[in-house]
Amino acid sequence: MEKRELLYEGKAKKLYTTDDPGLLISEFKDDLTAFNGLKKASEAGKGALNNKISTELFKLLEQNGVPTHFVRMLDENHMLHRRVDIILIEVIVRNIATGSLSKNLGIPDGTVLPFTLVEFDYKNDALGDPKLNDQHCLILNLVNSFEELDTLRAMARQVNDILRPFFHEKGLNLVDFKLEFGKDAQGNIILADEISPDNCRFWDLQTGEKMDKDRFRQGMGGLKVAYEEVLNRILGDNGTI
Ligand code: 5GP
């Protein structure tokens, strides 16, 4: 399957059409951005790591009954996936308080939440991705009904119920993550985008070390080594999950 026309260039990926109108190709870039694009860098090999990590996690989720846009990994930096209309809601799942939750609500960093929190952010860089409640989502026509929001929440919890124990077994604490969903040609809601250390927080269970994009956000260095370690933990000893 070949790339044809560049449809869209985002901060971490480029999206191309293919000869099949129902399929697109994502190219995972080495670029890193934070604070709504204010901090920028590039890390050679980061795109390939995120492509591989996302591939393994989409396969794991599909095996466990979560519908995703994933079709197959094409090569180091390219993934073939179904074409969906992206729902402009970032679905944030949190098991442990940190980041903007700690900052905005004063919950001490590292507090284990009494239950998994699911939040919605508006996927809108110009507005700085503000928080949404259900009524905002309907008023902005981001979804068609309150039921669709319940579907997003249920699917996000299902993803967490699969990934959290999976990573725990690998010695990683899945602290929080961001998901994006889309609608396929039939209007079904399916998981889209990517699942990688660019949009998840992983803390090593033993040492508490951050193994994700916070290393870049906080200027800690060692980002590629951390992403490689996440991939190696996912793959386990024999190179497959
Ligand atoms: P926070 O709201 O604390 O900044 O982020 C919560 C979680 O969602 C983190 O795992 C973070 O990586 C992810 N996240 C939230 N918004 C974005 C975003 O706009 N882009 C990316 N890549 N991840 C996000």
The CA distance from 131 to 140, in Å, is 13
* Per-residue pLDDT tens digits for 124-145: 999 999 999 999 999 999 999 9
In this prediction, residues 191-207 reach a mean pLDDT of 98
- CB of 118 within 6 A of ligand 1: the answer is no
Does residue 238 have a pLDDT over 50?
no
| Exposure string over 186-206, b if 16+ CB within 10 A, otherwise e | eeebbbbbbbbbbbbbbbbee
Copy the structure tokens of residue 133: 């409640």
Ligand 1 pocket, 184 CB below 6 A?
A: no
Contact 26, 78 (CB under 8 A): yes
Domains annotated for the chain, with CATH where assigned, are: 6-82 (3.30.200.20), 85-216 (3.30.470.20)
Say if ligand 1 is within 6 A of residue 180 CB.
Answer: no
Is the pTM higher than 0.75? The answer reads yes
pLDDT in tens, 54-71: 999 999 999 999 999 999
Ligand 1 nearest-atom number relative to CA 101? 3
- In this predicted structure, the answer to whether residue 222 has a pLDDT above a threshold of 80 is yes
